[in-house]
Structures are given as C-alpha cells and as structure tokens.
Amino acid sequence: MTTVKPLTRDQAAASVQPIFDALKSKVGMVPNLYATIANSANTLPAYLAFDEALSKGVFTAKERQAIFLVVSQVNGCHYCQSAHTAIGKMNGFTEEETIQLRTATIADKRLNALTSLAAEITRNHGKPSLQALENFYAAGFGADALVELVAHIGYKTVANYLHNITQFPIDFPVAKELESVTV
C-alpha cells in the first residue's frame, strides 16, 4: 500500500523548500503536518496563505485556538488536539481550559458559544441548531464571524482529515486523550 509521509526539505519540491526554511526559522522545526502537506507543492503554500488570511479576521488568537481545539476533537484528530493544546497554552489557556474548549464546556460564555457552534457545525456537516446560532449571535458575534468560523472549520478539517488518513507522527507534546466525549 502506498503511504503518505512527511517529507524532508530535500525530498520536497524546490518550490516549497523556502517554506520549509521559513517554518524552521519561525518555529524551530517544520511540523509534520506541513511536511506532509508538502507532498503537494501546490497545497502547502495555499494552505498557509489561507491560514494567514484568516488570522487577520475577526477572531482573536485565543478564539482561533478554541475553534481549532473543538473541531479537532469532533474530527478525532489527535495530532491537531496536541498541536493546539500546546499553542493554546502559549496563547494563555491552561491545560484544563484546553480540555474544556475541546468539549465545549468552558465557563466563559463567549468562548462557550463559539466552541458549541463550531462543534455543531463540524459534527452536523454544516447544520447547527438554531439555539447554537442564537447563542453565538447573543455572545456578540456577527455575520462576518459566522462566515469566518465556517472557513476556520474547513481549514482545520483539512489538517484533521489528512492526519486521520495518514497518521503521520505527532511532533508536539501529546494531548490528554479524553474519555468518550460528545461535543
């Protein structure tokens, strides 16, 4: 069976080698997610550009991590759960809060509305409950945030699915596995 594995810089297409260099300079390594996406020289720059564009949107860095944590939990991606637990802690969340975000049980009403809706959209294939939408809007989010939330879910789902299919190694501190969680 053919498998898809993370590429080294030398294995990657010449067009993405500068991206490997930039990642290594910025984060000290090329995360296996990006090294795996590099199997498609067209997809890696597009994926990173999409993330960069979304990072300039309405959500704070903490809110983005909240979205990524719950979407990765719903999609069952242990790689992204681990990566975003580490990044979430760098953005000010505690370990316990990252677990609460993954389960959409965080006490903060704004983050709870955000993660609950993100979980429903992901789990129900874009068909959340009216109550989740109302809670989202009541928490102060607008139409722009809803559109961006769907884009963030799509962005993170690409990574979740790629890891779930290929099972490339986790290169972050491994996140706690949660007992059968329904978010």
Q: What is the pLDDT of residues 104-123, one digit of tens each?
A: 999 999 999 999 999 999 99
Percent of the chain with pLDDT over 70: 97
Assess whether pLDDT exceeds 90 at residue 54: yes
Category of 126 on φ-ψ map: left (φ > 0), alpha (ψ -120 to 50) or beta: left
Assess whether pLDDT exceeds 70 at residue 181: no
Structural domain spans, the chain:
1-56, 61-164
Assess whether pLDDT exceeds 90 at residue 94: yes
> How high does pLDDT run on average in the chain?
96
Assess whether pLDDT exceeds 90 at residue 182: no
Q: Which fold has domain 1-56?
A: 1.20.5
Count the alpha carbons within 13 Å of 115 in the hemisphere toward its beta carbon.
Answer: 28
pLDDT value of residue 2: 76
Task: Work out the pLDDT band at 44, boundaries 50, 70, 90.
Answer: very high
CATH value of 61-164 in 1.10.287.110, 3.90.79.10, 3.30.465.10, 1.20.1290.10: 1.20.1290.10
Assess whether pLDDT exceeds 80 at residue 5: yes
Report the alpha-carbon distance of residue 149 to residue 117 in Å, rounded.
9
Residue whose entry in the numeric block shows the structure tokens 């809110």: 63
Assess whether pLDDT exceeds 70 at residue 183: no
